[in-house]
Amino acid sequence: MTLPKTGTSFEDASDVSLIRDVLGEISHGYVEKVDRDKLINGAIDGMVKTLDDPYTRHLKKSDYSSFQEQTAGHFGGVGIELGIREDKLTVIAPIKDTPADRAGVQAGDLIEKINKTSTAGMPIEKAVKLIRGPEGSKVTLWFIRNGGKPFSKELTRAAIKLPNVSGRLIDKTFGFIRVHAFNENSAKDIRQELDDLKAKGAKGVIIDLRNNPGGLLNEAVQVSSIFIKSGPIVRVKSRDGKTDTLSASDNADDKTPLVVLVSRGSASASEIFAAAVQDRNRGIIIGEKTFGKASVQTVVPLPDGSGLVMTTAKYLTPKNRSLNKRGVTPDITVKMKKKNWD
């Protein structure tokens, strides 16, 4: 759950001077030459670590850039959603109308190598970094399909716009909308998809939030406002104990029957939406108990191009429930199968 914020100055100059003194002593007096940037980053990381909060973190320049790309939902790459199946780096699906899609990459293809680097034991995060790159640059991926011989495809990276949502009509009766993340314009995309499905005859709608990790607070409120006509969506409690209530805006569809699918991987903004639907009796929640991340992070850009993602508030549901480490308990519990990728 993230919000933008500008930096603020530190008020106690004596504390800052102590840090500066230690930095100076180490820089000039340590037995070996030290990297000043490494010292500064180490000091920042040390401060953050003492907070014992997994959601507050210092992002170095490259990581901050990637974070911004992910939040905006676009980046330079080839258009592949990655996963791990039986310890192998696997294509979950190519994104429609991207270099990978046009090259014939298929769901279920194993990726054996990225350029000359083997993917054996490689975490997804590293694979993503190797595959992404500047628009117009090239990357060679080696695939294995259906147990056959390895084959390669040289792909030219392009600007990739991740779809916020995807939808379809089920049995000519129900609209199904998969929400991939609460990024910029998610609410706009969901509203458009809902209108399109209703125009095709949908009498009810299923919102799929399974494994949706969340995203932007304002998008969670706007998405909730599509289905909840008025009243509280989420309450945000700051460090001084002050609680701000964020309420639904007008022009909601509060009549169409609504089902929300959740899983253990549904977190943050997903939980805000699901809890609002549940507390306001707007629909039925089906699936597994959600992750239980009930905090708001503020993104603070730092002067050197890095960033600080910092927990600045906690949120409560419309009925003042805290979901921290508790999650949203579905109205109907259905366990997800381990091999369920849909």
**Highest mean predicted confidence (pLDDT) among 107-111, 181-185, 213-217, 242-246:** 242-246
Residue 152 is among the residues annotated as catalytic for this protein: no
- Domain endpoint, select from 161, 181, 204: 161
How far, CA to CA in Å, does 10 sit from each of 7, 17, 232? Answer: 10, 11, 35
Using an 8 Å Cβ cutoff, are 175 and 169 in contact? yes
With bands split at pLDDT 50, 70 and 90, how would you rate the model's confidence at 139? very high
pLDDT number for residue 71? 62
Residue 237 is among the residues annotated as catalytic for this protein: no
Domain holding 111: CATH number? 2.30.42.10
Q: Mapping DSSP to helix (H, G, I), strand (E, B) and coil, where does residue 305 land?
A: coil
pLDDT number for residue 99? 94
Q: Mapping DSSP to helix (H, G, I), strand (E, B) and coil, where does residue 3 land?
A: strand
With bands split at pLDDT 50, 70 and 90, how would you rate the model's confidence at 329? very high
Does one domain contain both 149 and 293? no
- Domain endpoint, select from 161, 194, 217: 161
Does one domain contain both 329 and 260? yes
Whole-model pTM: value is: 0.66
Does one domain contain both 180 and 267? yes
Check 113, 237, 293, 314 and give the catalytic one.
293
Residue 203 is among the residues annotated as catalytic for this protein: no
pLDDT number for residue 2? 54
| Residue of higher predicted confidence among 176 and 62 | 176
Number of domains in the chain: 2
163 has pLDDT over 80: no
Does one domain contain both 139 and 185? no
Does one domain contain both 155 and 171? no
Check 279, 295, 306, 314 and give the catalytic one.
279
pLDDT tens-digit map of 65-115: 667 666 665 667 998 877 777 788 988 767 777 899 899 998 789 999 999
- Domain endpoint, select from 109, 132, 161: 161
pLDDT number for residue 69? 64
The separation between the first and the last C-alpha atoms of the chain, rounded to the nearest angstrom, is 24
Using an 8 Å Cβ cutoff, are 299 and 55 in contact? no
Per DSSP, helices labelled H in 205-327 are: 217-227, 269-279
Check 263, 266, 268, 270 and give the catalytic one.
268
Does one domain contain both 122 and 107? yes
Mean pLDDT of 53-66: 78
Strand partners, 166: 178
